[in-house]
Structure 1
Amino acid sequence: MTVEAVRVSPAWLDLRERADAEARATDLVEHLRPHLRGGPLVVHDLGCGTGSMGRWLAPRLGGAQHWVLHDWDADLLARATVDPPRASAGGAGVTVETRQCDITSLDPCELAGASLVTASALLDLMTSSELDRFVALCSSPGCPVLVTLSVVGRVELAPAEPLDELVAIAFNDHQRRTTQGRRLLGPDAMDVAVDSFGRLGAEVVVRESPWRLGPGESELAIEWLAGWVGAACEQNPELAGLSADYLQRRGAEAVAGRLRVTVHHRDLLAVFR
């Protein structure tokens, strides 16, 4: 695979962690538990960032756990070791190791013995062929695979205004852009992943996992808006003349507690029988 290395700000990951935790589909954890192998769990977190998946999931799974955190960014891996998950649902210990690597070039043997493979907010950066190979990699141990927070291209702002739809269309086009000869999947990635796991014989369960940003998440909403509108203007420069007033207006609504934003995602659990 040739997925571009995208540097993600630790501050952005910290800012979104609570919204991510509240959005993830907890009922998929209930589906997951019966399929986990006995003994200490070995969980491989691909593209782990600062380790937020472990902090969310480890306390929801029982028994001793060993988490292997994979990321190409050494700074993010260092942050992940500062605040690792402390204990499982039953109070058993959780250990963590980090592996600095490009997950797109992992050999399947590096996942041998895994009890669970997981990833979060990752699929939209891939092309169709890259995602097929990623699915094959995750599926190679034959254990469950949990992928959370994949964007699906739907955003709702309340109160609504006409420019919302224009920005959303341009943003989705940006997500599907061709860059360096690669056509990104963007919001189509989840459907492609479901098909790809299904072709490998997995039972696939999908759940909605939307961010719901209200008055308590105004800082995140403002930061998200800046990125959303910025990408839209990059894709459609005709929006640039309208974006400053739009951002100022929406930002003021967020600060005043009048803006609510729903960013739709989906979570996926693949189980091999």
Structure 2
Amino acid sequence: MTEPATTTPLGGTSSGSRARTHQEPGPREDGGTSGATGAGPSVIPGAGPAPRPGERATLRLRGTDSDEPPRYAPEWLRLREPADAAARSAGLLDPLRLRLAELPRRTEGLVVHDIGCGTGSMGRWLAPHLDGAQHWVLHDRDPYLLHFAAVASPRSAADGGHVTVETRRGDIARLTPDALAGASLVTASALLDVLTREEVGALVAACTGAGCPALLTLSVAGRVELSAPHPMDQEITEAFNAHQRRGGLLGPDAVTVAAEAFAEQGATVRLNPSPWRLGPGQAALTEQWLRGWVGAAVEERPDLAERAGRYLAERLEACAAGELRVVVHHSDLLALCRPVDGDA
């Protein structure tokens, strides 16, 4: 499933994940299309504007032979990281800490697997919220992003405990309980909604088989609120949600499917809202999200193109004037799986 792993203190470098040209795009969040509205630069699904000449490609979570269009670009991941950090549900941390405190003490401390880690934003948010030494295993297909995640990760836990990182290239579709053997926690961000029902089932089976909790954040919920309501808001939302479900992906249904699958395996599941709240201080992110959101709707329903172009122009004008506020709803899921024999 993976290439040989490399271990590095968080904040150091990993020779096994050096940056190099890599053409595999990866999962998207609140996607888009390529210039469907004709308003502004073209976009790729979920990644804001298409890369400029000389910029690197995006990553793909599935295999290289997939026909899935490009998804996350590194610049989009950097742009959205502050909003992600502000949105994730702090209310799930206390029950998670209680479960982690019940685990047997290990020399290396907590072992956290971050699935589809991208640039490592989940580790930068979560590691400083947990006490004790931590060893993070970062999973992704893109060696450039793995390198970035390793070198840009936090060095210490909430109580000053040492944090180290290991990078692994691999495919979520091939994740097994054996790959998670010894894990204290599995985590992911903006991942569930880009998986199929079968892939969610494989992830749930791997976590429950390993007997470790899972914290899966920022799954799209299919609801958006914009200030100064517009007659097209609902139409764009419905078309976007249909686009999210293309090709058997779960889109806004993902968190419910995952919660039911975990519960069927005996896990205790908690769901908390984790909305982006975007205002004048997040204008750059709001602009790129708008382009992707409307673009995906038009790709799903080309008949919307003319009206959606006018709608997007109006919304972008309000955004530039500091008058637009947007709430993009997401959900965070905490699954406390039954420990396997021998664990606490």
TM-score band, normalised by the shorter chain? over 0.9
| SS of match in other structure, 1:201 | coil
C-alpha distance in 1 between matches for 2:92 and 2:193: 21
Which residue pairs with 1:62 in the alignment?
Answer: 131
- Whether 1:85 aligns to 2:154 is yes
Aligned to 1:227, which of 292, 295, 312?
Answer: 292
| SS of match in other structure, 1:148 | strand
C-alpha distance in 1 between matches for 2:291 and 2:98: 42
C-alpha distance in 2 between matches for 1:264 and 1:272: 26
| SS of match in other structure, 2:146 | helix
- Whether 1:118 aligns to 2:187 is yes
Task: Note the alpha carbon deviations across 1:16-71, whole angstroms, 9 max, x for none.
Answer: 00000000001101110011123300000000000000000000000000000000
Letter of the 1:229 partner, please give it: V
Which residue pairs with 1:21 in the alignment?
Answer: 85
Aligned to 1:174, which of 243, 248, 251?
Answer: 243
Which residue pairs with 2:252 in the alignment?
Answer: 187
C-alpha distance in 2 between matches for 1:272 and 1:74: 31
Letter of the 2:194 partner, please give it: L
Deviation (angstroms), 1:149: 0.3
C-alpha distance in 1 between matches for 2:88 and 2:206: 23
Deviation (angstroms), 1:133: 1.6
C-alpha distance in 1 between matches for 2:209 and 2:125: 24
Which residue pairs with 1:8 in the alignment?
Answer: 72
Deviation (angstroms), 1:7: 4.3
Contact 2:176 2:202 in 1 (8 A): no
Task: Note the alpha carbon deviations across 1:158-215, whole angstroms, 9 max, x for none.
Answer: 01101111100100111112x2xxx221101111111000000000011000000011
- Whether 1:30 aligns to 2:99 is no
Letter of the 2:174 partner, please give it: S
C-alpha distance in 2 between matches for 1:172 and 1:120: 19
C-alpha distance in 1 between matches for 2:219 and 2:94: 20
Contact 2:195 2:249 in 1 (8 A): yes
% same residue: 57
C-alpha distance in 1 between matches for 2:184 and 2:249: 30
Where do 5+ consecutive residues of structure 2 fail to align?
A: 1-60, 64-69, 339-344
Normalising to structure 1: TM-score of the pair? 0.95
Give the root-mean-square deviation of aligned CA atoms. Answer: 1.2
C-alpha distance in 2 between matches for 1:160 and 1:66: 46
C-alpha distance in 1 between matches for 2:218 and 2:212: 20
Aligned to 1:241, which of 274, 292, 306?
Answer: 306
- Whether 1:197 aligns to 2:262 is yes
Which stretch has the larger CA shift, 147-156 or 79-88?
79-88
Contact 1:7 1:73 in 2 (8 A): no
Which residue pairs with 1:41 in the alignment?
Answer: 110
| SS of match in other structure, 1:259 | coil
Where do 5+ consecutive residues of structure 1 fail to align?
A: none
Which residue pairs with 1:139 in the alignment?
Answer: 208
C-alpha distance in 2 between matches for 1:214 and 1:97: 37
Task: Note the alpha carbon deviations across 1:208-266, whole angstroms, 9 max, x for none.
Answer: 00000011001000000111011100000011112222222111111211000000011
C-alpha distance in 1 between matches for 2:193 and 2:287: 22
Deviation (angstroms), 1:140: 2.0
Normalising to structure 2: TM-score of the pair? 0.75
C-alpha distance in 2 between matches for 1:74 and 1:229: 31
Which residue pairs with 1:165 in the alignment?
Answer: 234
Letter of the 2:222 partner, please give it: G
C-alpha distance in 1 between matches for 2:228 and 2:207: 41
- Whether 1:105 aligns to 2:169 is no
Which residue pairs with 2:42 in the alignment?
Answer: none
Contact 1:45 1:70 in 2 (8 A): yes
Contact 1:42 1:115 in 2 (8 A): yes
Q: Which has the higher helix share?
A: 1
C-alpha distance in 2 between matches for 1:171 and 1:8: 17
Letter of the 2:258 partner, please give it: A
Letter of the 1:103 partner, please give it: I
Deviation (angstroms), 1:107: 3.1
